[in-house]
Amino acid sequence: MDGIVTRSTGNHYSIWLPHAQCMTTAQLAGKLRLQGLKHTNPVAVGDLVRLSEPIPGQPHTIEEIQARKNYLIRTSTRLDKQTHILASNLDGLWVVASVLHPRTSTGFVDRILVTAEAYSIPACIVVNKCDLWPEHLDEAERFLSHFRKLPYPVFSVSAETGLGIEDLKKWLESKTTLVCGHSGVGKSTLINALSPSLDLRTGGLSDKHKKGKHTTTFAEMLFLNTETRIIDTPGIKEFGLYDMEDGQIGDFFPDIFQLKNECKYSNCLHTNEPGCAVIEGVESGKIHPDRFKNYLQMLDSNQPEYRR
Ligand SMILES: Nc1nc2c(ncn2[C@@H]2O[C@H](COP(=O)(O)OP(=O)(O)O)[C@@H](O)[C@H]2O)c(=O)[nH]1
Ligand SMILES: [Mg+2]
Ligand SMILES: [Zn+2]
């Protein structure tokens, strides 16, 4: 029996069985548990799995995880060398951001975009809470201008007023999409706006810092219809790059990649090399200065222990 993992809580997994069109639960076979030592989760939401034949009165066992088409992975925390697979077998990715309450930095978004490029997952940026912008136009404009020349769709939306929700719905149709971003930016509220019957828990912001409270505790695949699936995730504080060589990072910035063949040195890292077309591109306005700053920061913080 084959199924798709829709939720994982500890060693208990919820599985969608496409042939039977129903859900079931399963546990992981011991031998697979050991294989997950490098990652905090051996089985991720989105995984296609083979289940044991049912034995009356016992849960299914996940016996095999099929090779993943792609996945989004990040380092768990700075101190912890373990990595976490956010979800697998994705057709698309939303980075949900908000300009305020809470503020999302462009650096955070760029890290996710770079990782999405590395794993060939089409990404778009969903800037939520645009009902709050009228009094913060400068901040909103500054944030949006960062992404203007990039080949990623940007949706300015409000889950509260419904603005832009129909466009998001079109983008999602017949895809499996991962929704990620800081806690409190409105991921679950957006998904509720797309499909009110899901009725996901959403949270207020803690008063002190206007930071999100964690109301979504596990990644979960939700069905808008059988072919349109959306994966809600708990908020991510930091997004660490995983397993990237310094020389690769620029290749995952489409704006940098486009100019790199014009650099004097083929192994140019675009930091201070002579004849660097990327640095010239920043000076001439082809590359947004903050994109370049974020690139340098990623290069600077790229940690060797996360490399293969
Ligand atoms: N003003 C405004 N508030 C929103 C919007 N979307 C969500 N919120 C609020 O932001 C808070 C966090 O929402 P939630 O969906 O739980 O965020 P999540 O942690 O990203 O899932 C809740 O109080 C929502 O009511 C929006 O478009 N505008
Ligand atoms: Mg949530
Ligand atoms: Zn260069």
Predicted confidence band at 308 (pLDDT cuts at 50, 70, 90)?
A: very low
What does the pLDDT average to over 84-88?
90
Distance CA 111, CA 96 (A): 13
Beta strand 205-206 pairing with 176-180: unpaired
- Whether a cis peptide bond, with omega within 30° of 0, leads into 122 is no
Please state which architecture CATH assigns to domain 2-65: Beta Barrel (2.40)
The residue extents of the domains of the chain are: 2-65, 71-232, 246-306
First to last CA, the chain: 34
Ligand 3: centre distance to CA 110 (Å): 19
Which pLDDT tens digit goes with each residue over 50-84? 998 878 888 899 999 999 999 998 876 555 567 88
Worst-scoring range by mean pLDDT, 216-225, 232-241, 299-308?
A: 299-308
- Locate the ligand 1 atom nearest the alpha carbon of residue 159 and give its number: 27
**Average pLDDT, whole number, for the chain?**
89
Ligand nearest to the CA of 131: 1
Predicted confidence band at 226 (pLDDT cuts at 50, 70, 90)?
A: confident
Ligand 3: centre distance to CA 111 (Å): 20
Ligand 3: centre distance to CA 184 (Å): 38
Asked if residue 150 has pLDDT above 90, the reply is: yes
State which residues have CB under 5 angstroms from ligand 2, the bound ion: 187-188, 216
- Mutational pocket test of ligand 1: of 189, 192, 199, the residue with most ligand atoms within 8 Å of the beta carbon: 189
Asked if residue 10 has pLDDT above 90, the reply is: no
Distance CA 21, CA 15 (A): 11
Ligand nearest to the CA of 202: 1
What does the pLDDT average to over 118-144?
95
What does each C-alpha distance from 74 to 25, 67, 101, 240, 281 come to in angstroms?
26, 19, 24, 5, 30
Place of tokens 């095999």: 64
CATH number of 71-232: 3.40.50.300
The pLDDT > 90 percentage for the chain reads 69
- Residue 36's contacts (CB-CB under 8 Å, 6 or more residues apart) are 42, 43
- Residue 81's contacts (CB-CB under 8 Å, 6 or more residues apart) are 75, 305, 306
Phi, psi of 122 (to 5 degrees): -60, 130
Q: What is the dihedral sign for C-alpha 6, 42, 93, 157?
A: positive
Ligand nearest to the CA of 253: 3
Ligand 2: centre distance to CA 190 (Å): 9
Looking at domain 246-306, its CATH superfamily turns out to be: Probable gtpase engc; domain 3 (1.10.40.50)
Which residues form ligand 1's pocket by a CB distance below 6 Å? Answer: 128-129, 131-132, 158-160, 183-189, 202-205, 212, 215-216, 235
- Residue 107's contacts (CB-CB under 8 Å, 6 or more residues apart) are 294, 297
Asked if residue 185 has pLDDT above 90, the reply is: yes
Q: 28: which 2 tokens?
A: 């992981």
Asked if residue 207 has pLDDT above 80, the reply is: no
What does the pLDDT average to over 245-251?
94
The per-residue pLDDT for 205 is 53
Worst-scoring range by mean pLDDT, 30-34, 216-220, 287-291?
A: 30-34
